[in-house]
Chains A and B, each alone.
Chain A
Amino acid sequence: MRAGAWVLVRFIARRDRGLIALWIGVAVALPLFNAYSLAALLPTEETRVAFAGMSAGNPITRALLGPVHGTSIESLVAWRSGVQSLLITGLGGLLFAIRHTRAEEDSGRGELVAARPVGRQAVVTAVTVLVAVVNVAVTALLTVGLSLGFGYPPGGTLLFALTVGAGGMAFAACGLLAAQVCQSAALARGAGVGVLVAGLVPGVVVPESWIGIFPAGWPRLAQAYGAERWWVPLMPLAFAAGLTVAVFVLSSRRDLGAGVLPDRAGFTGPVRGRLGSPLALVWRLRGGQVVGWTVALGTAAAGVGWVSASFELATLTRHTLLAIFTYVFCMVVACLTVAGTLRPYTEESRGRAAPLLAAPTTRARWLGGHTALSLGAPVAMLLAVGLGSGAGNALGTGSVGPLLTQVGAALLFVPAAWAIAGVTIAVYGLRPRVAVPVAWAAVVVSAASVALWEAGTIGDTAFLLTPFGYVHPSISSGFVVPAAFVVVAAALVVAGGAGFARRDLLA
Chain B
Amino acid sequence: MDAAISVSGLVKSYGRVRALDGLDLRVDTGEIHGFLGPNGAGKTTTLRVLLGMLRADAGQVRLLDGHPWRDAVRLHRRLAYVPGDVVLWEELTGGETIDLLGRLHGRIDEGRRAELVERFALDPGKKVRGYSKGNRQKVALIAALAARVELLVLDEPTSGLDPLMEAEFRRCLARRRDEGATILLSSHILAEVEALCDRVSIIRQGRLVESGTLAELRHFTWTSVTARLERPLDRLEGVHDLEIDGGTLVRFRVDSGQAGRALVRLAEFGLVDVTAQPATLEELFMRHYRQLPEAVAG
Point out residues on A near B: beta carbons under 8 Å: 1, 3-4, 7-8, 11, 15, 107-109, 111-120, 253, 255-257, 262-266, 507
Interface of A is mostly: loop
C-beta contact mask, B60-88 vs A, less than 8 Å → 1, else 0?
Answer: 00000000000011101100110101111
C-beta contact mask, B4-22 vs A, less than 8 Å → 1, else 0?
Answer: 0000000000111100000
Point out residues on B near A: beta carbons under 8 Å: 14-17, 48, 51-55, 72-74, 76-77, 80-81, 83, 85-89, 91-92, 100-101, 103-106, 129-130, 140, 153
In-complex Cβ contact of A11 among B74, B81, B100 (8 A)? B100
A-B contact count (CB 8 A): 75
Q: Is the CB of B88 within 8 A of A109?
A: yes
Question: Within 8 Å CB of A7, what residues of B?
Answer: 100, 103-104
Closest chain-A Cβ to B45's Cβ sits at a distance in Å of 10
Task: Name which of A1, A8, A256 has the most chain B CB atoms within 10 A of its CB.
Answer: A256
Question: Within 8 Å CB of B89, what residues of A?
Answer: 15, 109
- Given contacts A3-B73, A256-B48, A265-B16, are A113 and B104 in contact (CB under 8 A)? yes
Closest chain-B Cβ to A113's Cβ sits at a distance in Å of 6
Q: How far is the CA of A255 from the CA of B91 in the complex (A)?
A: 27
Q: How far is the CA of A4 from the CA of B73 in the complex (A)?
A: 9
Q: Is the CB of A115 within 8 A of B83?
A: yes
Smallest CB-CB A-B distances: 7 pairs:
A115-B81, A108-B87, A256-B53, A117-B76, A116-B104, A117-B77, A263-B15
Q: How far is the CA of A116 from the CA of B48 in the complex (A)?
A: 13
Question: Within 8 Å CB of B15, what residues of A?
Answer: 262-265
In-complex Cβ contact of B73 among A111, A118, A253, A263 (8 A)? A118
Q: Is the CB of B72 within 8 A of A116?
A: no
Closest chain-B Cβ to A110's Cβ sits at a distance in Å of 9
25 contacts between A and B (CB under 8 A): A7-B100, A107-B87, A111-B83, A112-B86, A112-B87, A112-B88, A115-B53, A115-B153, A116-B76, A116-B101, A116-B104, A117-B74, A117-B76, A117-B77, A117-B104, A120-B72, A255-B53, A255-B54, A255-B55, A256-B48, A256-B54, A262-B15, A265-B15, A266-B17, A507-B129
Q: Looking across the interface, which residue of chain B has its beta carbon closest to that of A506? A: B129
Q: Is the CB of A109 within 8 A of B16?
A: no
Closest chain-B Cβ to A317's Cβ sits at a distance in Å of 51
Question: Within 8 Å CB of A262, what residues of B?
Answer: 15
Q: Is the CB of B53 within 8 A of A117?
A: no
Question: Within 8 Å CB of B76, what residues of A?
Answer: 115-118
In-complex Cβ contact of A114 among B17, B51, B103 (8 A)? B51
Q: Looking across the interface, which residue of chain A has its beta carbon closest to that of B102? A: A116
Q: How far is the CA of A255 from the CA of B103 in the complex (A)?
A: 24
Question: Within 8 Å CB of B48, what residues of A?
Answer: 111, 256
Q: Is the CB of A116 within 8 A of B83?
A: no
Q: Is the CB of B87 within 8 A of A15?
A: no
Question: Within 8 Å CB of A264, what residues of B?
Answer: 15
Task: Name which of B17, B80, B105 has the most chain A CB atoms within 10 A of its CB.
Answer: B105
Closest chain-B Cβ to A125's Cβ sits at a distance in Å of 13
